[in-house]
Amino acid sequence: MNGTPIINLPRAVLFDWDNTLIDSWTTIHEAMNTTLVAMGQNAWTIDQTRERVRRSLREVFPEMFGDRWEEAREVFYERFRDIHLDMLSPMEGAERLVRMFAIRGVYLGVVSNKLGEHLRREVAHLGWDDLFGRIVGANDAVRDKPAPQPVELALSGSNIVPGRDVWFVGDTGIDLQCARNAGCQGILIRQIGPHPGEFNCCEPMAHYSNCNDMVALVRTL
């Protein structure tokens, strides 16, 4: 762990979903390449997919496909729906981490740029839906991450407002920007730590390599 020493549990933790709690790159890569080829573009390598997939589909596809973006959206979602539950794979230690927070009375939510109906179907498929107060995906709020509205929606009804006692845990700069925009504490969870200058506008409070490293933290709080 790098960053500010953590000595107290937060009141709430909001998790990104894809590649924070579940490993979804293979699914996204397959659906994305099916779409690219159908639209007459070159397929991406897995590294290109990892680098380029950040914002929500409704923001990115109009830029990529112009007037045909809605056609591309349907191709993507058709392929995604065919495979996403069969390929669903939690990150190692993810369920343990979520349940440890829940047992300690921390309010939990999910804020993702995955389409809301697909996101909630995946959470239910894993049997985790009882662990989260709110599960917020793309199109559920007026705007998607990194705008603050999804965070506000995820906390609605909890009597908790965004602040330093709310953590936003995610694996990308979009997550850290969302945390900053909403006034929460951003925590980066990915194998590689922040590069110098990578997150100048939204430095994470802490970095953990994986869910198991965060489990070790929670055990001490």
Half-sphere exposure of 45 (CA within 13 A, CB side): 3
Where are the CATH 3.40.50.1000 domain residues in the chain?
2-23+90-220
Q: What would the pLDDT profile of 193-214 be if each residue is shown by its tens digit? A: 888 888 888 999 999 999 999 9
Give the per-residue pLDDT at 1: 56
Q: What would the pLDDT profile of 21-68 be if each residue is shown by its tens digit? A: 999 889 999 999 999 999 999 999 999 998 888 788 888 999 999 999
Does the domain formed by 25-83 have CATH 1.10.150?
A: yes
* 76 token code pair: 């993507």
**Predicted structure pTM score:** 0.87
Q: Which CATH superfamily is domain 2-23+90-220 in?
A: HAD superfamily/HAD-like (3.40.50.1000)
Where are the CATH 1.10.150 domain residues in the chain?
25-83
